[in-house]
Structure formats: C-alpha cells, structure tokens
Amino acid sequence: MIIVGDPAHATSPASGQGASMAIEDAVTLAKCLRDADSVPAAFTAYESLHRARVERVVAQGKRNGDGKTLGPVMRHVLPLILKLRKPNPDAMDWMYGHRITWD
Ligand SMILES: Cc1cc2nc3c(=O)[nH]c(=O)nc-3n(C[C@H](O)[C@H](O)[C@H](O)COP(=O)(O)OP(=O)(O)OC[C@H]3O[C@@H](n4cnc5c(N)ncnc54)[C@H](O)[C@@H]3O)c2cc1C
C-alpha cells in the first residue's frame, strides 16, 4: 500500500502547494509504476524520487506560516526590509518551475 496527497504530507495552507503536490505525487507514481519491474520496486523508486522535494515544500510552507505570526517589532521592520531588498524572480523557481519529464 502507498499513500499520496495530504495523508502523506499535509502542508500548511500558507504553502499554496498541497493540491499541486498531490497531483505531482500521482504523476510521479504513475511514471514509476509504468517503468518499474514490480509494484514494490515502483513504490521504492517513487519514494526516492519524490521524498526530498516533498519535505522541502512542506518545510517552506511552515516557514511561510511562521512568517505570518511576527512579533510587534518585526511587524513594523519587515515591511521596510521587503521594500529595500532586490526581488529575485528566480529564487522560488525550484518550487514553481518544477517539471516532471514524461517520455
Ligand atoms: C485553507 C486552505 C487553502 C489551500 N490553498 C491551496 C492552494 O492555494 N494551492 C494548493 O495547491 N493547495 C492548497 N491547499 C491544499 C489542498 O487543498 C490539499 O493539499 C489537497 O486538496 C489535497 O488533496 P488530497 O487529494 O490529498 O485530499 P482531499 O482534497 O482532502 O481529498 C480527499 C477526498 O477523500 C474524501 N474522503 C474522505 N474520507 C473518505 C471515505 N471514507 N470514503 C470516501 N471518500 C472519502 C473526501 O471527501 C475528499 O473529497 C489549501 C488547503 C487549505 C485548507
């Protein structure tokens, strides 16, 4: 048996990635089932392909959520920091630019 989606890795709503990850799970698992010699081998391949990415997304979601509970000082300082920093549009490419290659 294998689980996908929220039962495997419920993310903070602040990550905005839970449904995306559930779909990624399904596509990655389908690909592993297509390519492996057996179901157990497919499950092992699925976990080794996908676990590190899922854990990174879940951790990022937690950071996003934690950032929404700032103390009274940071509540005033953070907007200034955000105004001064140079935006890097590629910084979150690892999350939003993810592609699953399917031959
Ligand atoms: C407030 C909030 C905001 C979110 N915003 C985003 C977002 O912007 N982007 C994003 O990607 N994700 C977002 N998510 C997360 C996303 O909704 C979930 O990660 C995603 O729906 C998980 O999909 P799933 O298929 O694993 O589970 P679910 O969508 O929960 O599907 C499980 C299904 O199983 C059914 N079910 C349960 N028990 C049984 C049973 N015994 N028999 C038959 N059926 C059963 C349920 O009714 C449900 O339809 C948000 C979540 C929340 C709470």
Give 40-95 pLDDT, tens digit per residue. Answer: 999 999 999 999 999 999 998 888 877 667 778 888 888 888 888 887 878 888 88
Q: Whose CA is nearest to atom 50 of ligand 1?
A: 13
Cβ–ligand 1 contact at 5 (below 6 Å): yes
User: Model-level pTM?
Assistant: 0.76
Least Cα distance to 55 among 27, 96, 17, 1 occurs for 17
Q: What is the pLDDT of residues 51-64, one digit of tens each?
A: 999 999 999 888 88
- What is the distance in A from the centroid of ligand 1 to the CA of 16? 12
Q: What is the pLDDT of residue 16?
A: 84
Task: For residues 11-39, give the mean pLDDT.
Answer: 92
For the chain, helix (H) and strand (E) counts, in that order, are 5, 0
Tokens found for residue 25: 């799970």
